[in-house]
Copies of this chain bind each other. A is one copy, B any other.
Amino acid sequence: MNNKGILIIISGPSGAGKGTVVEELKKDTNYMLSISATTRAPRKNETDGVHYFFKTAEEFEKMIDDKKLLEYASFCGNYYGTPVDYVNEKIENNKEVILEIEVQGALQVKKIYPDAVLIFLTPPSMGELRKRLEGRATETPEKIKMRLDRATEEFGIIDKYDYIVINDSVENAVENIKCIVKAEKMKAYRNLNLKSVLKGDILNA
Protein backbone atom coordinates (compact mmCIF):
# COMPACT_ATOMS: atom_id res chain seq x y z
CA MET A 1 0.00 0.00 0.00
CA ASN A 2 1.13 3.55 -0.52
CA ASN A 3 2.41 5.30 2.57
CA LYS A 4 1.07 8.78 2.13
CA GLY A 5 -1.27 10.40 4.58
CA ILE A 6 -4.79 11.58 3.80
CA LEU A 7 -6.04 15.16 3.88
CA ILE A 8 -9.33 14.97 5.81
CA ILE A 9 -11.71 17.89 5.69
CA ILE A 10 -14.34 17.94 8.39
CA SER A 11 -17.30 20.27 8.08
CA GLY A 12 -20.74 20.33 9.60
CA PRO A 13 -23.19 22.62 11.33
CA SER A 14 -22.26 24.47 14.48
CA GLY A 15 -23.25 22.08 17.28
CA ALA A 16 -22.43 18.93 15.30
CA GLY A 17 -19.52 18.30 17.64
CA LYS A 18 -16.62 18.84 15.22
CA GLY A 19 -14.29 20.20 17.91
CA THR A 20 -14.75 17.23 20.26
CA VAL A 21 -14.37 14.69 17.45
CA VAL A 22 -11.19 16.37 16.18
CA GLU A 23 -9.73 16.50 19.71
CA GLU A 24 -10.37 12.76 20.03
CA LEU A 25 -8.82 12.00 16.61
CA LYS A 26 -5.71 13.99 17.59
CA LYS A 27 -5.08 11.59 20.48
CA ASP A 28 -3.99 9.17 17.77
CA THR A 29 -0.49 10.35 16.82
CA ASN A 30 -1.12 9.50 13.15
CA TYR A 31 -3.65 12.34 13.07
CA MET A 32 -2.89 16.02 13.28
CA LEU A 33 -4.71 19.27 12.81
CA SER A 34 -3.40 21.51 10.06
CA ILE A 35 -1.87 24.80 11.17
CA SER A 36 -3.38 27.90 9.58
CA ALA A 37 -1.60 31.00 8.36
CA THR A 38 -3.09 34.25 9.64
CA THR A 39 -2.46 37.99 9.66
CA ARG A 40 -4.02 38.24 13.13
CA ALA A 41 -1.58 39.34 15.84
CA PRO A 42 -0.32 36.50 18.07
CA ARG A 43 -1.98 36.31 21.48
CA LYS A 44 -0.05 35.67 24.66
CA ASN A 45 1.16 32.05 24.74
CA GLU A 46 0.68 31.62 21.00
CA THR A 47 3.77 30.38 19.17
CA ASP A 48 4.49 30.82 15.48
CA GLY A 49 4.42 27.45 13.73
CA VAL A 50 2.54 25.83 16.59
CA HIS A 51 -0.77 27.67 16.92
CA TYR A 52 -0.58 29.61 13.66
CA PHE A 53 1.89 30.71 11.05
CA PHE A 54 1.82 34.45 11.72
CA LYS A 55 2.15 36.53 8.57
CA THR A 56 2.02 40.19 7.58
CA ALA A 57 -0.73 41.19 5.15
CA GLU A 58 1.92 41.52 2.42
CA GLU A 59 3.28 38.04 3.09
CA PHE A 60 -0.22 36.58 3.13
CA GLU A 61 -1.18 38.28 -0.13
CA LYS A 62 1.98 36.96 -1.75
CA MET A 63 0.96 33.46 -0.62
CA ILE A 64 -2.41 34.00 -2.32
CA ASP A 65 -0.72 35.16 -5.54
CA ASP A 66 1.75 32.27 -5.47
CA LYS A 67 -1.09 29.78 -4.93
CA LYS A 68 0.47 28.70 -1.66
CA LEU A 69 -2.91 28.43 0.08
CA LEU A 70 -5.40 25.59 -0.25
CA GLU A 71 -8.14 27.98 0.82
CA TYR A 72 -8.38 31.28 2.60
CA ALA A 73 -10.96 33.71 3.91
CA SER A 74 -10.94 37.01 5.73
CA PHE A 75 -12.69 37.37 9.05
CA CYS A 76 -12.89 40.51 11.23
CA GLY A 77 -10.30 42.25 9.07
CA ASN A 78 -7.75 39.40 9.23
CA TYR A 79 -6.81 36.72 6.74
CA TYR A 80 -6.88 33.03 7.65
CA GLY A 81 -5.77 30.28 5.29
CA THR A 82 -4.33 26.79 4.89
CA PRO A 83 -0.70 26.65 3.65
CA VAL A 84 -0.37 24.01 0.95
CA ASP A 85 3.36 23.35 1.58
CA TYR A 86 2.77 22.50 5.22
CA VAL A 87 -0.07 20.10 4.36
CA ASN A 88 1.96 18.43 1.61
CA GLU A 89 4.94 17.90 3.85
CA LYS A 90 2.81 16.15 6.50
CA ILE A 91 0.95 14.04 3.91
CA GLU A 92 4.28 12.91 2.44
CA ASN A 93 5.32 11.90 5.95
CA ASN A 94 2.28 9.61 6.21
CA LYS A 95 0.32 11.86 8.58
CA GLU A 96 -3.46 12.20 8.35
CA VAL A 97 -3.98 15.96 8.25
CA ILE A 98 -7.32 17.32 9.47
CA LEU A 99 -8.81 20.59 8.27
CA GLU A 100 -11.88 21.75 10.16
CA ILE A 101 -13.42 24.26 7.77
CA GLU A 102 -16.82 25.38 6.59
CA VAL A 103 -18.55 24.17 3.48
CA GLN A 104 -17.38 26.81 0.97
CA GLY A 105 -13.73 26.47 2.01
CA ALA A 106 -14.02 22.69 1.84
CA LEU A 107 -15.24 22.76 -1.76
CA GLN A 108 -12.46 25.24 -2.61
CA VAL A 109 -9.85 22.77 -1.26
CA LYS A 110 -11.38 19.78 -3.06
CA LYS A 111 -10.93 21.59 -6.38
CA ILE A 112 -7.21 22.16 -5.82
CA TYR A 113 -6.62 18.95 -3.91
CA PRO A 114 -8.91 16.24 -5.35
CA ASP A 115 -7.37 13.54 -3.14
CA ALA A 116 -8.75 15.28 -0.05
CA VAL A 117 -11.55 13.39 1.68
CA LEU A 118 -14.56 15.56 2.53
CA ILE A 119 -16.49 14.43 5.58
CA PHE A 120 -19.70 16.09 6.66
CA LEU A 121 -20.32 15.56 10.36
CA THR A 122 -23.95 15.82 11.34
CA PRO A 123 -25.88 15.50 14.58
CA PRO A 124 -28.30 12.54 14.61
CA SER A 125 -31.24 14.94 14.21
CA MET A 126 -32.01 18.64 14.04
CA GLY A 127 -33.92 18.33 17.31
CA GLU A 128 -30.65 17.17 18.82
CA LEU A 129 -28.76 20.05 17.17
CA ARG A 130 -31.22 22.59 18.60
CA LYS A 131 -30.88 20.96 22.02
CA ARG A 132 -27.08 21.18 21.86
CA LEU A 133 -27.17 24.83 20.79
CA GLU A 134 -29.67 25.70 23.52
CA GLY A 135 -27.38 23.98 26.01
CA ARG A 136 -24.63 26.50 25.21
CA ALA A 137 -25.00 29.37 27.66
CA THR A 138 -23.56 31.75 25.06
CA GLU A 139 -26.30 31.41 22.44
CA THR A 140 -29.21 33.83 22.21
CA PRO A 141 -32.47 32.63 20.60
CA GLU A 142 -31.63 34.79 17.55
CA LYS A 143 -28.20 33.19 17.24
CA ILE A 144 -29.73 29.73 17.55
CA LYS A 145 -32.22 30.49 14.79
CA MET A 146 -29.38 31.83 12.62
CA ARG A 147 -27.32 28.70 13.21
CA LEU A 148 -30.24 26.39 12.39
CA ASP A 149 -30.94 28.36 9.19
CA ARG A 150 -27.28 28.03 8.29
CA ALA A 151 -27.41 24.28 8.98
CA THR A 152 -30.38 23.97 6.62
CA GLU A 153 -28.34 25.72 3.92
CA GLU A 154 -25.34 23.49 4.51
CA PHE A 155 -27.40 20.31 4.23
CA GLY A 156 -28.30 21.50 0.74
CA ILE A 157 -24.83 20.67 -0.50
CA ILE A 158 -23.95 17.46 1.32
CA ASP A 159 -23.98 15.67 -2.05
CA LYS A 160 -20.73 17.54 -2.79
CA TYR A 161 -19.16 15.75 0.18
CA ASP A 162 -17.57 12.31 0.00
CA TYR A 163 -18.93 10.95 3.26
CA ILE A 164 -21.54 11.72 5.88
CA VAL A 165 -20.77 10.74 9.45
CA ILE A 166 -23.53 10.91 12.05
CA ASN A 167 -22.21 12.06 15.40
CA ASP A 168 -24.50 10.04 17.64
CA SER A 169 -21.57 9.44 19.99
CA VAL A 170 -18.01 10.78 19.80
CA GLU A 171 -16.67 7.24 20.05
CA ASN A 172 -18.70 6.05 17.04
CA ALA A 173 -17.94 9.14 14.99
CA VAL A 174 -14.18 8.78 15.58
CA GLU A 175 -14.27 5.06 14.81
CA ASN A 176 -16.21 5.74 11.61
CA ILE A 177 -13.82 8.47 10.46
CA LYS A 178 -10.86 6.16 11.08
CA CYS A 179 -12.59 3.44 9.07
CA ILE A 180 -13.14 5.90 6.20
CA VAL A 181 -9.44 6.85 6.24
CA LYS A 182 -8.42 3.18 6.28
CA ALA A 183 -10.73 2.40 3.35
CA GLU A 184 -9.51 5.45 1.42
CA LYS A 185 -5.95 4.18 1.73
CA MET A 186 -7.04 0.99 -0.04
CA LYS A 187 -8.54 2.93 -2.97
CA ALA A 188 -7.06 1.52 -6.17
CA TYR A 189 -6.19 4.97 -7.56
CA ARG A 190 -4.06 5.68 -4.48
CA ASN A 191 -2.12 2.43 -4.99
CA LEU A 192 -1.28 2.32 -8.67
CA ASN A 193 2.36 1.89 -7.70
CA LEU A 194 1.40 -1.69 -6.77
CA LYS A 195 0.78 -2.34 -10.45
CA SER A 196 4.42 -2.07 -11.40
CA VAL A 197 5.67 -3.43 -8.07
CA LEU A 198 3.66 -6.64 -8.43
CA LYS A 199 4.30 -6.95 -12.16
CA GLY A 200 8.06 -6.58 -11.74
CA ASP A 201 7.77 -8.97 -8.87
CA ILE A 202 6.15 -11.57 -11.16
CA LEU A 203 9.07 -11.43 -13.57
CA ASN A 204 11.49 -12.03 -10.72
CA ALA A 205 9.34 -14.64 -8.99
* A residues apposed to B, CB below 8 Å: 1, 120, 122, 125-127, 129-130, 148, 151-152, 155-156, 158-166, 176, 179-180, 182-184, 186-189, 191-192, 194-195, 198-199, 201-202, 204-205
Contacts and interface: CB of A to CB of B under 8 A. Distances in A.
Given A163-B186, A187-B163, A125 B198 contact: yes
A159 B199 contact: no
User: How often does this chain occur in the complex, in copies?
Assistant: 2
A189 B105 CA distance: 20
30 contacts: A122-B198, A125-B198, A126-B198, A126-B201, A127-B204, A127-B205, A129-B202, A129-B205, A130-B205, A148-B202, A152-B199, A152-B202, A155-B194, A155-B195, A155-B198, A156-B195, A156-B199, A158-B192, A159-B192, A160-B188, A161-B188, A162-B187, A162-B188, A163-B183, A163-B186, A163-B188, A164-B186, A179-B179, A182-B183, A183-B183
Given A1-B166, A166-B1, A201 B161 contact: no
B1 A188 contact: no
Contacts of A159: 188-189, 192, 195
A130 B198 CA distance: 12
A151 B202 contact: yes
A179 B188 contact: no
